[in-house]
């Protein structure tokens, strides 16, 4: 495998190590997400065609007694979401998702605040009136963080493997709001008072900027070690350094970048790290040294980014209504975001007094928002490819930057929406990369064709036409039974759905389908390659003369154009390469050319 020297050295080292189990990452929901209600423990129910909705819950409600959890609100939201997906005929992996945001800080349980090893202070948000006065545990110290780690372990044990759970917010280092890198000293009127209290503690417990930054880093490690399949989102402003004398703050662009890079590194969360910013307006820009500029850089590097818009406001000179919301969504789509969290009451005819939230208004708003939702999803419809020199490249969105060069060189490859890539090099060598920021790993065995589905099922064919599936828990290949073939005929290509339905082609261009239980059947038609998406709803094929065919449920329908290879990904994401090595993306009912590649894999 041709690799740059530094990458090759890493690969040779990795090849001699005992690998851990190969993790599978759920894709982050693409499109519009309902942000949820922040006053208490509540969950959004599916409405319209939203991609997801939040459960915003207080830690004190989830774990009122240490080690005794009440997950009923989240469990009920999951049941509603699963029923909604079933009614629409979509899988929980591809349908509506439940997002989890457990609010900690001042909403931590009393048993945490009363733990003498944790400690607490009286902390003011806006002023010193009763409704703005809180008891804040010392989140910047280890004992509090240990309790948060236990909370995340319990939540991940319950929800990490649930397809319908689309993401979890990191919220360890917060006060009132879950933007984790700001608001340590409250609003301007109370900053000096709060800082004096935070600094008036004993030397072992008092607040320092260094302990705060270390808290944010440990938060990354906790989520990386507990949530193995589910993306973690970090809602953030630029990192703020605080003046110990008066509690005033100054933003640090470079420290924010350092923390973002730490989160995205292969040794931490990698592709599971979803970075974002809250309170996006229509009149903001992304070239002014703000958090918007940094998130734009992250998106251009191919990592998932989200924005949460401003709330509806009718204040003089600060109006934010439906038209302004559209402007904010337009900004996010232009800047490479894959999702936008929209305000509460997005579906009300009068969103300032929260009235007229009817199905008619839901339908109207959904129609108005359709273009923005489609553009966000397009930012989540990338592909991986090998160019004519076999170098691996990635397309992160349909507009913007083109094919970005990655390390490695492959003859054939297959990837998932989370950035996991499997490939074949030098005829039969197998290589695997968990995410964009990870090193390539040499996988034992020899195959001539390999495919991976979104939930991590990996299948392949070797040079003798034998069929194998990857046992990812034990990092080994298991042989699968083949269909009944003619003398001299052998399997050439294979593809798989998440639940184990296989489609395969043979050296005689015959097509076979295998049920999840292992029963093979011959499918009419003569094709040299078949590609199926994760849930089996899209099956595409290429005939020996490079004509394109799509499975209609009972037979093959001819699609205009000509390709030598095709790949079906999630949510209708279809890519292909023609005989002249031009790569194409399926845009509605037409093909859009997007550069020159040798082989392509839709995510």
pLDDT band for position 374 (cuts 50, 70, 90): confident
Work out the pLDDT band at 263, boundaries 50, 70, 90.
very high
Angstrom CA distances, 157 to 165, 230, 296, stand at 12, 11, 33
End-to-end CA distance of the chain: 23
Question: Which residues contact residue 547 at a Cβ distance below 8 angstroms, ignoring those fewer than 6 apart?
Answer: 558, 562
- Euclidean distance between CA atoms 451 and 444, whole angstroms: 16
Residues whose CB falls within 8 Å of the CB of residue 474, separated by 6 or more in sequence, listed in order: 21
For the chain, what percent of residues have pLDDT higher than 90? 77
Predicted pLDDT of residue 318:
83
Q: What is the pLDDT of residue 47?
A: 93
What is the chain's alpha carbon radius of gyration, rounded to the nearest angstrom?
A: 25
Interior CA angle at 480 toward 478 and 483, to 5°?
165
pLDDT of residue 18: 35
pLDDT score, position 7: 35
pLDDT band at 314 (very low <50, low <70, confident <90, very high): confident
Answer whether residue 307 shows pLDDT above 90: yes
* The predicted structure's pLDDT at residue 179: 86
Q: What is the DSSP letter of 65?
A: B
- Mean pLDDT in residue range 547-558: 96
Residues in the chain: 603
Q: Is the pLDDT of residue 15 over 60?
A: no
- Read off the pLDDT of each residue in 395-421 and give the average, rounded to a whole number: 81
**Separation between Cα atoms, residue 498 and residue 459, nearest integer Å:** 11
3-state helix, strand, coil in the chain (%, to 5): 25, 30, 45
Maximum mean pLDDT: which of 192-201, 331-340, 373-382, 592-601 = 192-201
Best CA proximity match to 415, nearest among 10, 13, 51, 27 = 27
- For the entire predicted model, the pTM comes to 0.77
Summarised one tens digit per residue, pLDDT across range 117-143 is 999 999 999 999 999 999 999 999 999
Average pLDDT across the chain, whole number: 91
Sign of CA dihedral 264, 268, 274, 280: negative
Contact assessment for residue 335 and residue 305, using Cβ atoms and an 8 Å cutoff? yes
What is the arithmetic mean of pLDDT over 257-274?
A: 90
Instruction: Compute the Cα dihedral for 512, 602, 333, 305 and give only its sign.
Output: positive
Residue 521 pLDDT > 60, yes or no? yes
- pLDDT number for residue 315: 77
Least confident of 46-50, 106-110, 179-183, 555-559: 179-183
Report residue 418's pLDDT band, with 50, 70 and 90 as the boundaries.
Answer: confident
Q: How many other CB atoms sit within 10 Å of the CB of residue 5?
A: 7
- CB under 8 Å to 108, separation ≥6 — which residues? 59, 60, 137, 144, 147
Contacts for 498 with CB less than 8 Å, ≥ 6 apart: 91, 93, 453, 454, 455, 457, 534, 535
């Amino acid at each position: 495998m041709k690799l740059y020297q530094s990458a090759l050295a890493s690969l040779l080292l990795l090849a001699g190590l005992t690998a851990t189990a190969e993790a599978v990452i759920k894709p982050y929901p693409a499109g519009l997400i309902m942000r949820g209600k922040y006053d208490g423990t509540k969950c959004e129910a599916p409405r319209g065609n939203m991609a997801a909705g939040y459960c915003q819950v207080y830690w004190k409600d989830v774990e009122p007694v240490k080690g005794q959890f009440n997950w009923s609100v989240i469990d009920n939201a999951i049941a509603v979401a699963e029923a909604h997906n079933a009614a629409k005929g979509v899988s929980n992996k591809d349908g509506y998702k439940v997002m989890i945001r457990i609010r900690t800080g001042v909403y931590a349980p009393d048993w945490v605040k009363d733990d003498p090893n944790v400690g607490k202070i009286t902390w003011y948000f806006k002023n010193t009136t009763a409704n703005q006065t809180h008891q804040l545990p010392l989140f910047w110290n280890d004992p509090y963080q240990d309790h948060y780690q236990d909370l995340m372990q319990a939540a991940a044990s319950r929800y990490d493997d649930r397809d319908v759970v689309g993401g979890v917010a990191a919220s360890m280092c917060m006060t009132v709001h879950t933007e984790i890198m700001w608001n340590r000293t409250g609003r301007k009127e109370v900053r000096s008072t709060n800082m004096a209290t935070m600094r008036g503690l004993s030397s072992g417990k008092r607040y320092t900027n260094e302990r705060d930054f270390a808290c944010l880093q440990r938060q990354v490690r906790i989520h990386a070690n507990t949530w193995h399949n589910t993306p973690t989102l970090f809602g953030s402003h630029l990192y703020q350094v605080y003046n110990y004398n008066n509690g005033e703050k100054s933003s640090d662009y470079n420290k924010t970048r350092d923390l973002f890079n730490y989160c995205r590194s292969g040794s931490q969360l990698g592709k599971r790290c979803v970075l974002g910013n809250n309170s996006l307006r229509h009149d903001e820009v992304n070239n002014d040294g703000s958090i918007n500029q940094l998130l734009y850089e992250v998106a251009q590097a191919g990592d998932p980014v989200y924005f949460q818009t401003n709330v509806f406001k009718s204040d003089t000179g600060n109006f934010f209504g439906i038209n302004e919301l559209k402007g904010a969504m337009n900004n996010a789509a232009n800047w490479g975001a894959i999702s936008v969290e929209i305000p509460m009451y997005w579906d009300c005819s009068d969103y300032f007094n929260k009235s007229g939230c009817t199905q008619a208004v839901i339908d109207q708003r959904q129609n108005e928002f359709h273009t923005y939702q489609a553009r966000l999803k397009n930012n989540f419809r990338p592909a991986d490819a090998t160019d004519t020199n076999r170098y691996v490249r990635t397309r992160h969105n349909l507009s913007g930057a083109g094919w970005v060069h990655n390390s490695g060189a492959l003859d054939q490859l297959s990837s998932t929406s989370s950035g996991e890539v499997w490939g074949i090099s030098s005829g039969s060598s197998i290589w695997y990369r968990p995410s964009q920021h990870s090193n390539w790993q040499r996988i034992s065995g020899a195959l001539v064709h390999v495919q991976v589905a979104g939930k991590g099922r990996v299948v392949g064919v070797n040079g003798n036409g034998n069929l194998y599936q990857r046992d990812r828990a034990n990092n080994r290949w298991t042989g699968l039974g083949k269909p009944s073939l003619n003398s001299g005929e052998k399997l050439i290509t294979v593809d798989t759905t998440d639940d184990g339905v296989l489609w395969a082609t043979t050296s005689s261009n015959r097509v076979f389908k295998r049920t999840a239980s292992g029963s093979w059947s011959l499918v009419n038609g003569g094709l040299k390659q078949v590609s199926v998406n994760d849930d089996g709803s899209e099956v595409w094929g290429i005939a020996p003369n490079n004509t394109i065919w799509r499975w209609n449920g009972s037979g093959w329908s001819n699609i205009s154009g000509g390709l030598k290879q095709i790949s079906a990904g999630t949510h209708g994401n279809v890519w292909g390469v023609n005989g002249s090595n031009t790569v194409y993306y399926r845009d509605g009912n037409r093909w859009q050319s997007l550069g020159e590649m040798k082989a392509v894999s839709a995510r």
